[in-house]
Structure 1
Amino acid sequence: MQHDLEEEHSVECSGRIVLVCKKCWKTMILLGLEEDWLSERTDFTCGCGQNLTLEDDRENETALSVKRLLRGTIRPAGEVDEDHRGMLT
């Protein structure tokens, strides 16, 4: 019976647009088709106050995932994390 209740409260999404704030790097996800958003509004405000637009701040989701992965693993030259300190000769 609970499964039936969950299905009644779900909505299928027709599309998704990801905007990335260039100030704080947080993402804003817009649900729906691009043409629907273009007819409604194209400017949004990030929580940090930065203005986001469909034209300037849209991000490819695959590229965004790679950037987030790399941001957590690449370190400046000469900087070594504690787990790999003994591996340097």
Structure 2
Amino acid sequence: MNQYDAEQFEDTAKRFKALGHPMRLAIVEALFARSYCVCELAELLGMHKSVTSKHLSALKQVGIIDMQREGARVNCILTMPCVLEMMHCTMKTPDTVKE
């Protein structure tokens, strides 16, 4: 494996790690439908705004979402909708996950 491949796999692993929380998956699912501000997402998912912000920050850091300011409002936008295909694929798979 050359240097380029190693960096590419490292970036991909970081994205998978960022998606490794149920609430982050719920955020991605919600943002697929439309953009939301942080307060709307928090209310939609039943989380505190500060917790929602932390999850959004993790997703933004790896490029899965972006945030765009409109005046005082910050809208969250899904920039990598392809992750939903993988997520939905795993949801259709028989339950084989053991703790």
Scaled to the shorter chain, the TM-score interval is 0.3 to 0.5
Compare relative contact order (CA 8 Å, sep 6+) and give the higher one, 1 or 2.
2
Per the normalisation by structure 1, the TM-score is 0.32
Per the normalisation by structure 2, the TM-score is 0.30
